[in-house]
């Protein structure tokens, strides 16, 4: 913000929070003309105490947006969609995005492959094809939000889409393709929440061909508070139900994920639990074979992003 000058046209700010009141304080410094609430999830449930408190904290962004401004809201998330009334009471224009028919900027025909993610974007009567190089259906939602935000400041959606299609990687360690053609590593261990973990596992299942093998290397999800155990259980069950063929769970904090996978049916060697990243690397170096598609996913604190780097280099 200190680089803003008289000639600056736009400032793009990401406001994060680990406790109630944080977005109100940060947003008060910015005073945005256009704001977006992307979703309400369990990423920091431990700090907020409940998902309802998380929603209330994110809604603080509506209160600091300047009257007459624009609120961009995710129509697919009921907790975010419920912020519409609050925004309209403050005199904000609401632009909804998502797959819901209630969306002003809507995506349909989403298809995820190993080469990218495609969909059709609907804005009024316009239908615009979008082909993202980044992997995962969840990136479509992010793209719709970006189109909505930039449209609110005068950018034509077709121009926004052209720029989005040029993005090769969302960020380092976010579904970052590594390794080689025979063994492909997707290093998505920058961070993890129950929502992003589930999205990454679904993406792995979608981009793996019938002659290839799915391998998920999973570590703990942090900052979940009292729902830590049940959310790790849920991810273990999901991995089995998605037919992930090898589930490699790393670290004591993620042990419940392993136990849930075993309880759901991965008891014949499909799931293994290893104490740390070094042990996982030694195991995977011997276990992986041509045709494997490997997801590495954990919260930042678990450190598996560096395991992903090691695997990517080893199999390049």
3-state secondary structure of 121: strand
Task: Indicate the helix (H) or strand (E) that contains 107.
Answer: strand 105-113
Domain match, 280 and 240 both: yes
Residue 22 structure tokens? 């944080």
How distant, in Å, are the alpha carbons of 80, 210, 220, 237, 280 from that of 40?
7, 35, 20, 22, 32
Local confidence band at 92 (pLDDT 50, 70, 90 cut-offs): very high
Question: Six-digit token pair at 244?
Answer: 């992930």
Q: Give dist(CA 255, CA 236) in Å, integer.
A: 10
Domain-embedded: residue 2: no
Tell whether 282 and 302 lie within a shared domain: yes
Burial 36-66 (b: 16+ CB within 10 A, else e): bbbbbbbbbbebbeeeeebbebbbbbbebbe
Q: Which two tokens stand for residue 305?
A: 């992003």
Q: What is the CATH number of the domain that holds 139?
A: 3.40.1190.10
Among the candidates 135, 165, 195, a domain finishes at 165
5, part of any domain: no
Tokens of 12: 């793009």
Q: Is the same domain home to 97 and 219? A: no
Give the pairing type, strands 105-113 and 116-123: antiparallel
- 154 and 221 share one domain: no
Q: Are 22 and 57 in contact (CB under 8 A)?
A: yes
Average pLDDT on 124-129 reads 97
Q: Which domain holds residue 244?
A: 176-314
Residue-wise pLDDT for 254-296, tens only, equals 999 999 999 887 667 799 999 999 999 999 999 999 999 999 9
Q: What is the CA radius of gyration of the chain?
A: 21
- Per-residue pLDDT averaged across 112-118, rounded? 91
Per-residue pLDDT at 45: 63
Question: Could you say which DSSP state residue 132 is in?
Answer: E
Mean pLDDT of 11-29: 91
| Whether residue 100 is found in the same domain as residue 220 | no
pLDDT higher at 237 or 136: 237
Is 42 in the same domain as 134? Answer: yes
**Domain termination site, one of 165, 191, 206:** 165
162 pLDDT tier (thresholds 50, 70, 90) = very high
The domain total for the chain is 2
Asked whether residue 72 falls in the same domain as residue 191, the answer is no
Q: Give residue for tokens 């596992």.
A: 201
* Same-domain status, 76 and 154: yes
Percent of the chain having pLDDT more than 90? Answer: 79
Mean pLDDT along residues 72-101: 97
Tokens of 228: 């830590």
40, part of any domain: yes
pLDDT of residue 267: 66
Residue 244 lies in a domain: yes
Residue 114 has pLDDT above 90, yes or no: no
Contact assessment for residue 249 and residue 279, using Cβ atoms and an 8 Å cutoff? no
Q: Residues 91, 103: contact at Cβ < 8 Å?
A: no
Mean pLDDT for all residues in the chain: 93
**Domain containing residue 275: CATH number:** 3.90.190.20
Outline where 77-191 has alpha helix (H).
78-81, 84-89, 138-152, 157-165
pTM of the model: 0.84
At 58, the pLDDT band (50, 70, 90 cuts) reads very high
Q: Does the pLDDT at position 43 exceed 70? A: no
Per-residue pLDDT band at 44 (split at 50, 70, 90): low
- Structure confidence at residue 9 as a pLDDT band (50, 70, 90): very high
Angstrom distance (rounded) from CA 43 to CA 51:
9
Residue 33 pLDDT > 80, yes or no? Answer: yes
Whether 15 is in a domain gets the answer no
Residue 302, in any domain of the structure? yes
Q: Between these two residues, 157 and 47, which has the higher pLDDT value?
A: 157
C-alpha distance from residue 10 to each of 13, 61, 87, 152, 299 (Å): 10, 18, 22, 12, 32
Are residue 190 and residue 142 in the same domain, yes or no? no
pLDDT band at 227 (very low <50, low <70, confident <90, very high): confident
């Amino acid at each position: 913000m200190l680089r803003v000058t008289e000639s600056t046209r736009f400032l793009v700010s990401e406001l994060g929070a680990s406790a109630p009141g944080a977005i109100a304080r940060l947003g008060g410094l910015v005073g945005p003309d256009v704001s977006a609430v992307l979703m309400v999830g369990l990423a920091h449930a431990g700090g907020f105490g409940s998902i309802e408190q998380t929603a209330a904290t994110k809604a603080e962004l509506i209160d600091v947006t300047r009257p007459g401004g624009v609120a961009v809201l995710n129509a697919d998330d009921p907790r975010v969609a419920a912020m519409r009334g609050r925004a309209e009471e403050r005199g904000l224009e609401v632009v909804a995005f998502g797959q819901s028919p209630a969306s002003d900027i809507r995506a349909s025909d989403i298809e995820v492959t190993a080469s990218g993610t495609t969909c059709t974007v609907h804005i009024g009567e316009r239908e615009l094809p979008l082909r993202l190089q980044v992997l995962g259906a969840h990136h479509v939602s992010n793209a719709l939000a970006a189109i909505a935000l930039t449209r609110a400041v005068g950018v034509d959606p077709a121009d926004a889409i052209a720029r989005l299609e040029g993005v090769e990687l969302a960020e380092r360690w976010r579904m970052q393709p590594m390794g080689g053609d025979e063994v492909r590593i997707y290093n998505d261990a920058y961070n993890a929440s129950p929502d992003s973990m589930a999205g990454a596992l679904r993406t792995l299942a979608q981009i793996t061909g019938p002659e290839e093998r799915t391998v998920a290397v999973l570590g703990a999800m942090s900052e979940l508070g009292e729902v830590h155990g049940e959310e790790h259980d849920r991810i273990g069950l999901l991995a089995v139900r998605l037919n992930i063929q090898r589930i490699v769970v790393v670290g004591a904090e993620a042990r419940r994920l392993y136990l849930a996978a075993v309880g759901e049916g991965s008891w014949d060697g499909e799931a293994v639990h290893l104490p740390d990243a070094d042990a996982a690397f030694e195991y995977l170096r011997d276990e992986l074979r041509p045709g494997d598609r490997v997801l590495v996913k954990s919260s930042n604190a678990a450190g598996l992003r560096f395991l992903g780097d090691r695997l990517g280099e080893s199999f390049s």
